[in-house]
Amino acid sequence: MKIALIGYGKMGRTIEKIALSRGHQIVAKIDPVNGEDFTSPSLKEADVAIEFTRPETAFINYLECFRLNLPVVSGTTGWLERMDEIKALCEKGHTFFYASNFSIGMNLFFEINKRLAQLMNSQPQYEVSMTEVHHIHKLDAPSGTAITLAEGILENLSRKKYWELDKPSTGDVIGIKAVREGEVPGTHIINYISDVDEITIEHKVTSRDGLAFGAVLAAEFAISRKGFLTMSDMLKF
């Protein structure tokens, strides 16, 4: 598979390593630091684009890739208010694979989170809250993954209706605390507290290799498909 990397930062570089180890080729690296942009002729060779950039640039990058008829795999967070526009373009024949978190472990954790929330419908003595911890360079809060986890709870725990950043959990609100420290690659903690005990589930990224591996698998999956694709389509959860 011939891959165009859009964004050659922490994720772009890790994806390059994993893609090469799986026998793929990187034919373009579109990033300000590289000096290569969407006019690059090497993009014509690509089978797929893998995009990990910044919240404010992601959407325009997707349009550039679609203009070149390239399927896109993206994990960029913080732009999701425009997701409906991307889904509409997918209905017109473009291919877009999105995940707020490409780690296989996190996608298992998404399912555990939903099941635990379901069980808590008959246990009103528990209050739920969430904490996410990331490196100090992260631009968005809460993390895209924390939003996905909160949505998983809201869909399954009827007493909760909203999530709020940096507010305590109370009534129908799930409080999400976002912590930025050091070089933490990504930790998500969900806590259910009663007067007598506490249940905590936690997912901790220990290497970005897991996130990059998921993104490369997604690209392998996307190149032979059309439309809007997710990890559930690929992992068949």
Ligand X SMILES: NC(=O)C1=CN([C@@H]2O[C@H](COP(=O)(O)OP(=O)(O)OC[C@H]3O[C@@H](n4cnc5c(N)ncnc54)[C@H](OP(=O)(O)O)[C@@H]3O)[C@@H](O)[C@H]2O)C=CC1
Nearer to ligand LZUJQKHR, 116 or 147 (CB): 147
Which residue from 73, 71, 67 is spatially nearest to 18, judged by alpha carbons? 73
Tell whether residue 77 is a contact of ligand LZUJQKHR (CB under 6 A): yes
Which residue from 179, 122, 188 is spatially nearest to 149, judged by alpha carbons? 188
Report yes or no: 179 and 131 within 8 Å, Cβ to Cβ.
yes
* Segment contacting ligand LZUJQKHR by CB under 6 A, of 57-65, 139-147, 165-173, 174-182: 139-147
Tell whether residue 87 is a contact of ligand LZUJQKHR (CB under 6 A): no
Q: Give the integer Cα–Cα distance in Å for 68 and 194.
A: 54
Tell whether residue 52 is a contact of ligand X (CB under 6 A): yes
Whether the CA torsion 74, 184, 175, 129 is positive or negative: it is: positive
The item of ligand LZUJQKHR, ligand X, none sharing an interface with residue 152, based on CB under 5 to 8 Å by kind, is none
Looking only at the bridges linking them, the beta strands covering 72-74 and 48-51 are parallel
Q: Which long-range contacts (CB under 8 A, 24 or more apart) does 36-42 make?
A: 38/64, 38/68, 42/4
Tell whether residue 53 is a contact of ligand X (CB under 6 A): yes
Give min distance, CB of 78 to ligand LZUJQKHR, in A.
Answer: 7
The CA-based dihedral angle spanning residues 36, 39, 44, 49, taken in that order and rounded to the nearest 10 degrees: 60
Nearer to ligand LZUJQKHR, 71 or 75 (CB): 75
Our answer to whether residue 135 is catalytic in this structure is no
The item of ligand X, ligand LZUJQKHR, none sharing an interface with residue 134, based on CB under 5 to 8 Å by kind, is ligand LZUJQKHR
Which residues pair with residue 177 across a beta bridge? 131
Give min distance, CB of 211 to ligand LZUJQKHR, in A.
Answer: 6
Two tokens, residue 162: 């909203």
Phi, psi angle pair for 36, to nearest 5°: -100, 135
Tell whether residue 53 is a contact of ligand LZUJQKHR (CB under 6 A): no
Cis status, amide bond into 124, omega within 30 of 0: no
- Considering only residues 199 through 228, tell me which ones interact with ligand LZUJQKHR, judged by CB under 6 A: none
Report yes or no: 163 and 150 within 8 Å, Cβ to Cβ.
yes
Give min distance, CB of 193 to ligand LZUJQKHR, in A.
Answer: 24
Tell whether residue 64 is a contact of ligand X (CB under 6 A): no
Q: Which residues are catalytic?
A: 134, 138
Chain residues in the site for ligand LZUJQKHR (CB under 6 A): 77, 100-101, 134, 138, 143-145, 186
Residues that bind ligand X (CB under 6 A): 6-12, 30-33, 52-55, 57, 61, 75-78, 99-102, 211
